[in-house]
Structure 1
Amino acid sequence: MRKFTVFAFLLLVMMGGMAAQAQDAGPAIEPWACPESVQVMENKTLNIFNWATYIGENTIPDFENLCGVTVTLDYFDSNESMLTRLRQGNPGYDIVIPSDYAIPTMIEEGLLLPLDHARIPNLDNLMTDLREAPFDPESKYAVPYLWGTFGIGYNVNSVEEPVSSWMQFFEHDGAVAWTEDSRIMLSIALLVTGHSPNSSDPDEIEVAKQFLLDHSDNVVIIAADDGQEWLAKGDVDMAIEYNGDIFQINLDCECEDFTYVIPQEGSGISSGFIAIPTGAQNPDLAQVFIDYILDPQVGAEIANFTTYPSPNQVAVDAGLIDPIMRENPGIYPPEEMRKNLYFLLPQDEDTEQLFNDIWTEIKIALQAG
């Protein structure tokens, strides 16, 4: 039987209520203003390490204009590559946005600086359940940024039958894209082969590896966080991707050619958190940026642009979230779908190494094939 963390349970309960919170806009919310203390930081540069397509269109330029600073963006395509970069020594990042399962490892390894809540008053805008993650219950090191699910995105014009299961993806006779994220791929394979997606049993992981190898003939790309682009270009019929990324390409093309499904066997929840990495060059400015991100209007702009759900309760209550998003089951899953959702839990060092070794073996096999 699949086991859920307390955090997972609380989030699923919270998700159930969010879909019903399509309220009329409440009292006017004052626009965020840059603190006077930032005047001494003017002309400084804030360096952000983030996923691609995981920020609002105006989020960065608005912050630059409000605070008189420069922001640079660098991107990673998996939590594993992000961890590798920071373990080698922070090259100058002030902000990092890892997934939930990476946070405990980063705290344990001293890769994150503690936050000063006095400098982040907008922390109170967040959903309480999300702030009380068991790996950081007091939000000492990280705060929620966005959350979503990973599943199957596909071109409705290229796939004859509506997709509802992982096996339809793996048995599809056309071109498909996998994700570069080894945790996601192996968790799916574990689930489909009848095991916990968080299994650390070497024998079960070996079965998952073999399943992926046996169903890899039509894989044309292991996408580095850009499977949706391969789908949009028509290079693949189906892709394993995050829900927000698939909805983004429909918005970009102003069409309805692509859809996203949470397979009936189950799928994973992924929450993005915002944090300050150890060795940050401008930690004070980073605190200000986090407060800015947690502003209701800013948080809503990010959610509405990326099409990922927002953890900002004030934004939801004020009706700032696009109602089309709130009513979309691929973004806010209904109760029957939520029952089969799971979190990717932290791995011990041996299991993490096993996953990395197996994933390398799989990619070598695909390249040779």
Structure 2
Amino acid sequence: MKRLYSFLAGVVVIVLALWAISQNLEEQSTQGTTDKLVIYNWGDYIDPTLLEEFTAETGIQVDYQTFDSNEAMYTKIKQGGTTYDLAVPSEYMISKMIEEDMLIPLDKSKITGIENIDPQFMGLSFDEKNDYSVPYFWGTLGIVYNETMVENAPEEWEDLWSEEYRDNIMLIDGVREVMGFGLQSLGYSLNSKSLSELEEAANHLYNLTPNVKAIVADEIKGYMIQDAAAVAVSFSGEASEMLDGNENLRYVVPSKGSNLWFDNMVIPKTAKNIDGAHAFISFMLRPENAYRNAEYVGYSTPIPEAKAMLDEETQNDEAFYPSEETMENMEVYDNLGAKLLGAYNDLFLQFKMYRK
């Protein structure tokens, strides 16, 4: 009987070992792939029909979740708990995430369409070899104004200080944006690392407060469409929606300098569906899909073939596709580091409190 028990025990051990091996092989074979793709992107930042078509083509269900700032996105991914397979941060945040080892290097053998991207948008300072990111959209920061509500249209940042705009300007609620145009209005870089220049810019912004009606986020679009203010500082894509909603609105990019921003697709290190993320990147790099996305969202596409599909008026609109001369004066946000960014944040908060 003891021999029988020993035999049976041996059989059980062998079965369990074989089961463990098969489970391990199965996990290895499915590693990086699931039937769901979790995308973390800005709100209203993709044509939803593209998500449906991606699922129909690949069988991968898309869980599309949104954030309203780079900092919120960074914190959520950093904390873990929720798995995101693909995210769309901006340039300075991409640099920060690379430094903190939060991103997976792209397997470019699994991506088709990189050659479709305009070379001028590749190899930039925040990801010099595009090892971790590929362009999604790009755009500018500029000035929206209602031509029926102003006598003199603003063209440069320093024009915002005109007494004509008293209590009639809305600002986007962004530290880099407001501190940036404050610095540029004085002839400084929006990436200034000089504390004296930052203090000077903050003091200059204090002088702007009589003209500032509100500092708001996404609702700035609705306010401008409804003629709630004469002037606003906002992003090009937001401006596009405003212009569509109110025929009296115009958008201008200050020719002396402004922010040139990029939102790129990346794969967070905690991703589970790595193959699906690569497949989605390839899907969005197809010119016809990039064109449809640009039509829906209103931001500038980094894919020339997609741009060529847009109507001629849009293609030739220098507010959204600036001239080479204007582009030469544009600056991309640098990752300033925690200490310096803290100084920017403190000065911006003081500005917001000062105007109250």
Global fold match (TM > 0.5): yes
Equivalent residue number for residue 102 of structure 1: 93
Aligned residues, how many?
323
Equivalent residue number for residue 288 of structure 2: 297
Contact 1:264/1:340 (<8 A) preserved: yes
1:142 to 129, 133, 142: 133
Task: Please report how far the alpha carbon of residue 57 of structure 1 lies from its aligned counterpart in structure 2 after TM superposition.
Answer: 5.0
With over 3 angstroms needed to count, the CA separation of the structure-2 counterparts of 1:202 and 1:290, relative to structure 1, is same
Equivalent residue number for residue 62 of structure 2: 71
Equivalent residue number for residue 204 of structure 1: 197
Secondary structure at 1:263 match in 2: coil
Cα-to-partner distance string for 1:291-342 (whole Å, 9 max, x where unaligned): 11111111111122223221113434xx323322111010111244334222
Alignment RMSD (CA, Å): 2.3
Task: Please report how far the alpha carbon of residue 186 of structure 1 lies from its aligned counterpart in structure 2 after TM superposition.
Answer: 0.7
Task: Please report how far the alpha carbon of residue 347 of structure 1 lies from its aligned counterpart in structure 2 after TM superposition.
Answer: 0.9
Equivalent residue number for residue 241 of structure 1: 234
1:352 to 335, 341, 355: 341
2:166 to 154, 168, 173: 173
Equivalent residue number for residue 155 of structure 2: 164
Secondary structure at 1:55 match in 2: coil
Secondary structure at 1:217 match in 2: helix
Report 1:242-261 matches (<5 A).
242-251=235-244, 253=245, 255-261=246-252
Equivalent residue number for residue 271 of structure 2: 280
Report 1:1-369 matches (<5 A).
41-42=34-35, 44=36, 46-56=37-47, 58-89=49-80, 91-171=82-162, 172-251=165-244, 253=245, 255-316=246-307, 319-366=308-355, 369=356
Secondary structure at 1:58 match in 2: helix
CA distance in 2, matches of 1:336, 1:363: 34
Q: Percent sequence identity over matched residues?
A: 30
Task: Please report how far the alpha carbon of residue 225 of structure 1 lies from its aligned counterpart in structure 2 after TM superposition.
Answer: 4.1
Letter in 2 for 1:349: A
CA distance in 1, matches of 2:38, 2:81: 11
User: What TM-score comes out, normalization by structure 2 length?
Assistant: 0.83
CA distance in 1, matches of 2:332, 2:87: 20
Higher mean alpha-carbon deviation, 301-310 vs 81-90, is at 81-90
CA distance in 1, matches of 2:328, 2:125: 20
Equivalent residue number for residue 22 of structure 1: none
CA distance in 1, matches of 2:85, 2:303: 22
Secondary structure at 2:277 match in 1: helix
Letter in 1 for 2:350: E
Cα-to-partner distance string for 1:113-147 (whole Å, 9 max, x where unaligned): 11111221122221233222233233211001111
With over 3 angstroms needed to count, the CA separation of the structure-2 counterparts of 1:131 and 1:264, relative to structure 1, is closer
Secondary structure at 1:196 match in 2: coil
Letter in 2 for 1:155: N
With over 3 angstroms needed to count, the CA separation of the structure-2 counterparts of 1:73 and 1:231, relative to structure 1, is farther
With over 3 angstroms needed to count, the CA separation of the structure-2 counterparts of 1:306 and 1:360, relative to structure 1, is same
CA distance in 2, matches of 1:61, 1:72: 11
User: What TM-score comes out, normalization by structure 1 length?
Assistant: 0.80
Q: Structure 1 or 2: larger helix share?
A: 2
Letter in 2 for 1:160: E
Higher mean alpha-carbon deviation, 328-337 vs 107-116, is at 328-337
Cα-to-partner distance string for 1:181-225 (whole Å, 9 max, x where unaligned): 211111110111232221111111111112222212343432224
Equivalent residue number for residue 10 of structure 2: none
Contact 1:78/1:181 (<8 A) preserved: no
CA distance in 2, matches of 1:149, 1:90: 34
Secondary structure at 2:209 match in 1: coil
With over 3 angstroms needed to count, the CA separation of the structure-2 counterparts of 1:77 and 1:221, relative to structure 1, is farther
With over 3 angstroms needed to count, the CA separation of the structure-2 counterparts of 1:332 and 1:48, relative to structure 1, is same
Contact 1:92/1:280 (<8 A) preserved: yes
Structure 2 portions without partners, runs of 5+: 1-29
Task: Please report how far the alpha carbon of residue 90 of structure 1 lies from its aligned counterpart in structure 2 after TM superposition.
Answer: 5.8
